[in-house]
Amino acid sequence: MNGKANPSIRCSVFQCQNHCQDQEYCALNSIKVGTHESNPTVVQCTDCESFVAKNNS
């Protein structure tokens, strides 16, 4: 687990370095949500821009 679970930020992305492995929460104090679309209209258009891929080496 990376840090203490933040109960205000739920997360199910186990591949993120900020994910609390024993709980479905993020360890960050806050996250940034963005989009990769010019006109986002559905949830699939949004991204967690605080995502950091785990280093599995």
Per DSSP bridges, beta strands 46-48 and 25-26 are unpaired
pLDDT of 2 reads: 56
Residue 2 class from Cβ within 10 Å (0-12 exposed, 13-18 middle, 19+ buried)?
middle
Residue 5 has pLDDT above 60, yes or no: yes
pLDDT of 1 reads: 47
pLDDT of 57 reads: 58
Which has the higher per-residue pLDDT, 3 or 13? 13
pLDDT digit string, tens, across residues 7-56? 999 999 999 999 998 899 999 999 999 999 999 999 999 999 999 999 87
